[in-house]
Amino acid sequence: MINERIVRESLKKVIEQKSGKDVIALGMISSIIIKGGNVGFALEISGNTQASEELRRSCEQAVKAIPGVGKVTVVATGQKQTVQQKTKLHIEGVKNIIVVASGKGGVGKSTVALNVALSLEKLKHKVALVDADIYGPSIPKMLGTETLKPEIQNGKALPIEKHGLHTISIGYFIDKDRAAIWRGPMITKALYNLLIGTRWSDVEYLIIDTPPGTGDVHLSLMENFNLTGAIIVSTPQGLALIDARKIYDMFTKLSVPVIGIVENMSYFTQNGLETYIFGKDGVKRMSEELGIKLLGRIPLDPQICHASDCGDPSMLSEDLAKFYKDIALETLCSCKILKKP
């Protein structure tokens, strides 16, 4: 089966002569569309030169060489500055950075981020969680730490610790009922303060719960920090998958490895029967089409909602906690692969 991952792997063989890097590493490939055996994609190049045309032809030939591929359409577009041209910032005391994103709000991204982080901690790793949803921070509520304020030591905030998890959130610094009416530059500054202005110590995995969409927070993270990988969260519903595809496209354009995708609120169980409230296997089909790993399917369960509202994630039963543990184990395996030299 031809999917986006196979197409991208094939295009990694195409080298842009001026930089000596492949077109995937340079973020020159976007908008890959696969219909049957036909493949189309955009190639971002500079000017209508002979070298540009040769690069376009090389990309076309590389994809045509994939067994089962028929027609290949390569659309040349104007080139933009790539993130590889920027020097990345280092977060002192942090080894791996994993972002959790959804594209669409209301799909349970924060719940997944929190419980996967807690699962990693239970697996004996030192884990921290950054609530980067500046407009709607929810981690303090979900952890029962709303009333706590971080101590400031030598100009840096000390993260709040709960359940063995070290966390920081804009929710610790502003009134929970006050709206953050901030423009883009203020959002970016707040993000930097949370990441750089916090004293982290020997953190193996820093999980960042991002806001919905593909805005300033995501762009700032991808352009300015070395991200180990990304986890996408979506419900099986078609509307949610549209936005999940957008965040996936953003990750691939900016060369952020996608660890996999989680299908949240996958089904509801009553009297032993599964009801697919938001549709069945939507995320599975998307993962197969894009060639990314389906990390897990988490049911729609009142216990998960109750634990979040009560601020006590330890209330989850062993059966429910296992869903998140399995995702954490898949994430660990992927991170080891991505960190190989």
Residue 339 is labelled as binding a ligand:
no
Q: Work out the number of other CB atoms within 10 angstroms of the CB of residue 286.
A: 21
Residue 155 is labelled as binding a ligand:
no
Q: Work out the number of other CB atoms within 10 angstroms of the CB of residue 254.
A: 18
The CB-side HSE value for 31 (13 A sphere, CA atoms) comes to 10
Beta bridge partners of 112: none
Q: Work out the number of other CB atoms within 10 angstroms of the CB of residue 44.
A: 18
Residue 104 is labelled as binding a ligand:
yes
Q: Are 119 and 324 in contact (CB under 8 A)?
A: yes
Amino acid, res. 292: I
The CB-side HSE value for 10 (13 A sphere, CA atoms) comes to 19
Structure token pair of residue 76: 């040349």
Residue 308 is labelled as binding a ligand:
no
Structure token pair of residue 81: 């500055």
C-alpha to C-alpha distance for 32 and 6, rounded to whole angstroms: 11
Residues 6+ apart with CB under 8 A from 246: 103, 214
Residue 105 is labelled as binding a ligand:
yes
Residue 108 is labelled as binding a ligand:
yes
Annotated binding site: 103-110
Annotated binding site for ATP: 103-110
